[in-house]
Amino acid sequence: MSGYRCRGLLGSLLLSSLVFSASTLFGIGLGIDGDGIRFADGTFQTTAAFPPLPANMTWVVPAGSSYEYDDYYISPVDAMNHLSDWCTLGGTIVPVRARCTLMIAPGTYDLEGDQQIIMHEKVDIVGMGIGSTIIRGFVKGSTWDGTSAVFRGAADAALRNLSIANFVFLANASGDHSSVIYNDEAGFRVNNVSISINGNDRIYGVINNNVDAIYTNLDIKAANIWIPSKPSALCFGFWARGAGNIEINRAQVVAEGCSDSTAIQDNGANLRLVNTNASATCPNGPCGAYAVWNVSGVLTILNSKLEGVSRSITIGSDSDRIINTHFNGPVFDAFPGTQCRGTYGNSLGDVPC
C-alpha cells in the first residue's frame, strides 16, 4: 500500500451531514457536537470513524489539510500510479478491469515538475465541483501529442466536476506545445470541467485525436498572456483532429491574444456543437481570431453563438449544417451546398450561408 494514502475526515463529514438530515427529518433525537455523533440510545461515535468506501473507490485529499493520513492519497498522480492497490480486476475468462472511481476532495493540487495524470480504461476521475477541486500542472513538449498534456484520456473513462490549468506561461519557449487534455481513446467523456491554459507559443485547451468522444458542460480558455501577440503563437480552445464523431454540448470556448486564435478547429472529424458559445478575440493588438474553423471535417451546429473578430465561422464542407445560430463576425462560406437555417447577426437579421 502506498505511503501516500491517508485517512480523512471527509467521509465522516459526509456521514455526519446525512445523519443530521435524517435526525431533522424524522425527529429521532440524534445529536452532533465537535467530537462526533451522539445517537438516541446514548451511544457515541467519533467523527474519525466512518463506513469504508465501496470497492474500487478511493479519495485524494489535500496535503497538510485537517485530514488524518493513513488510508487516502494526497496526489492524483500517485493514486493513478498505484491503481492496483484500490482498483481490482474482474472477469472470469479475460481479466477486465472493473469500473473504478477516483474521487478528489476540495482543494488545490499542484503537480510536481512536468507530472501528468494518465487515465486508465474504465477508471473515472471525479472532483467536487468547478472551482472546488483544482488541479494545476506545468507540462510542455516538442509535439502536440499526449506528452505535452496535463491529462491523458482513456477508453470508456470519464473526467468530471473539477478545474484544470496548465501554467506553461512560466517558461514557454519557441516551438513548445502545451495542452490541458489530450485524448486518443474511444469512449472518453468529459463533463462539468473548467479548462485554462496560458502561454505564448502553441497552446491547446483540448485535443481530441481520431476517436469518438463526448464533451459536456465545458468552460475552456486558451490565451496568450504576452503583449503584443507573438507572430508564431497559436491558441486553440478545442482541436478536433482526425476521424471520429465528437459532440460538444453546453460549452463556453474562448481563444484570445495569439496571432492565430481559434476557439474550435476541426481537422477531419464529424463535429457536432450544441448550445456552444465560441469566441475568439484580440485583446493585445492585431491577430487572427476565428470562432469556428472547419478545415476538412463536417460540422453540425445547433443553437449556438459564434463570435470572431476575423471570422465567426469558416465553413469547410458542403455537408456542414448550421441551425438557429448567432454569428457575430464575418462568415466565410465557399461551399454553396451548405445548409443554414435560422442563422442571424447582432441585429437579428438573417445571415445566409
pLDDT of the residue at 109:
98
Q: Let me know the angle formed at the C-alpha of 266 by 144 and 150, rounded to the nearest 5 degrees.
A: 30
> Which amino acid is it at 155?
A
pLDDT of residue 209: 98
For residues 334 and 252, what is the distance between their CA atoms, to the nearest angstrom? 27
Spell 223-232 as b/e; 16+ CB within 10 A means b: bbebeebbee
Q: Which three cell numbers stand for residue 94?
A: 479475460
Q: Whole-model pTM?
A: 0.84
HEC states along 236-269?
A: EEEEEECCCEEEEEEEEEEEECCCEEEEEEEECC
Distance between CA atoms of residues 201 and 185, nearest Å: 26
Which has the closest alpha carbon to 212: 269, 251, 265?
A: 269
Task: Please report which helix (H) or strand (E) contains residue 182, including its range.
Answer: strand 177-183
Which fold would CATH assign to domain 138-341? Pectate Lyase C-like (2.160.20)
> Which amino acid type is present at position 105?
A
Q: How far apart are CA 79 and CA 118, in angstroms?
A: 10
Only one residue has cell 480552445, namely 237
Q: Which alpha helices (DSSP H) does the chain contain, by range?
A: 10-26, 76-81, 83-86
pLDDT at 228: 56
3-class DSSP state of 66: coil
**What is the pLDDT, as a whole number, of residue 199?**
79
- Grouped pLDDT means (10 residues each) for the chain, 353 residues: 47 42 41 53 52 82 69 93 87 66 96 96 97 96 93 98 87 76 98 92 95 98 72 87 97 94 98 99 85 97 98 96 98 89 96 91
pLDDT for the residue numbered 37? 54
